[in-house]
Amino acid sequence: MNAATYWYCLRSIIVREGLRFLHQRERFFAALVRPLVWLAIFAVGFRAVLGVSIIPPYETYILYDEYVVPGLVAMIQLFNGMQNSLSMVYDREMGSMRTLLVSPLPRWYLLVAKLLAGVAVSIAQVYVFLGIAWLWGVEPPPLGYLAALPALLLSGLMLGALGLLLSSFVKQLENFAGVMNFVIFPMFFASSALYPLWRIREGSPTLYQIAAWNPFTQAVELIRFSLYLRVDVPALLWVAGCLALFLGAAVLAYDPGRGFWARRGGPAEQA
């Protein structure tokens, strides 16, 4: 096992994920339509209701459309992370997960490779969305698109690792709808994706606290600042810390010696 072996493995996992994504056109459109609906309908309706004052990283008054774009970018990544987690559960039930895990490379590496593959797909979607948002009139500085890349990688990994961790708790595919309701919606709405934190504080100090601690808020702010060529250091640390925590727990959950399979049996034994 040398570096080339690891690289071939990573590359083939990313290529497969990309091919699968391209074959599922409806998934591609769904992934794109969702944030566009928010941008084109929700944001327009809210333009008049919500005035956003000058808060960092913005240097002038901005339209609500501009405020909401980083939140929608993070939403794409959140949905992708959960989608990947869903596909892990599906792969587990269908047996194709076994093909992956029988690889001689270390299991943590296989999981990280799988995560990176999912993040690569989500970043491609994000840039398509940012392109459309640009046509819509949301124009961050050109260099911001480049500066956002590392932020997108980090936040994508963090949300993907959360999905991976959740997938290890979900026993069957049917239980997944509950996870979506209990994870995606609270995370999205109790965050700074749709409204700035100071606005939330005006409404409810408790919700403000929850939103401030929400890793999704930190991911949104990390992306927002990077898009405007600034680094939000607390958000960066927060996202990196959550990534380490979620990934560590997911690797433990999938560990052959400690994980759930050793106790409950593999897909066929559960059937």
Partner 1 sequence: MYEAAIPADPPSIPAIHGPPAQAVPALAVEELSHSFGKRMALDHVSFAVPPAGFTMLLGLNGAGKTTLFSLITRLYSNRSGAIRIFGFDLRRQPTRALERIGVVFQQPTLDLDLTVRQNLRYHGGLHGMAPSDCEARAREELERIGLADRADDRVRALSGGQRRRVEIARALLHRPKLLLLDEPTVGLDTESRRHILDHVRALCRGQDLAVLWATHLMDEATDEDSVVVLHQGRLRASGTVRAVRAEAGAATLPAAFAALTTGERRP
CB neighbours (10 Å) of residue 134? 14
Cα 268 to Cα 271: distance, rounded to the nearest angstrom:
5
Q: Min. distance of Cβ 17 from partner 1 in angstroms?
A: 10
Taking the least distance from each CB to partner 1, the nearer of 106 and 150 is 106
Taking the least distance from each CB to partner 1, the nearer of 42 and 90 is 90
Q: Min. distance of Cβ 85 from partner 1 in angstroms?
A: 19
The three-state secondary structure class of 220 is helix
> Binding residues for partner 1, per CB under 8 A?
1-2, 4-6, 8-9, 11-13, 15-16, 19-20, 23-24, 94-96, 98-106, 110, 256-257, 259, 261-269
Helix (H) or strand (E) holding 78: helix 64-94
Q: How many Cα atoms are found within 13 Å in the side-chain-facing hemisphere of 253?
A: 18
∠ CA 7-8-11, nearest 5°, is 85
Taking the least distance from each CB to partner 1, the nearer of 9 and 158 is 9
Taking the least distance from each CB to partner 1, the nearer of 101 and 245 is 101
Q: Min. distance of Cβ 115 from partner 1 in angstroms?
A: 15
Taking the least distance from each CB to partner 1, the nearer of 22 and 149 is 22
Exposed e or buried b per residue across 162-188, where buried means at least 16 C-beta atoms within 10 angstroms of its C-beta: bbbbbbbebeeeeebeebeeebbeebb
Q: Min. distance of Cβ 19 from partner 1 in angstroms?
A: 6
Residues 6 or more apart in contact with residue 222 via CB below 8 angstroms: 151, 154, 155, 232, 235, 236, 239
Taking the least distance from each CB to partner 1, the nearer of 231 and 262 is 262
Cα–Cα nearest to 111, from 231, 256, 251:
251
CB neighbours (10 Å) of residue 127? 14
Q: Min. distance of Cβ 62 from partner 1 in angstroms?
A: 43
Q: Min. distance of Cβ 96 from partner 1 in angstroms?
A: 5
Residues 6 or more apart in contact with residue 117 via CB below 8 angstroms: 13, 14, 16, 17, 18
Taking the least distance from each CB to partner 1, the nearer of 40 and 93 is 93
Q: Min. distance of Cβ 184 from partner 1 in angstroms?
A: 26
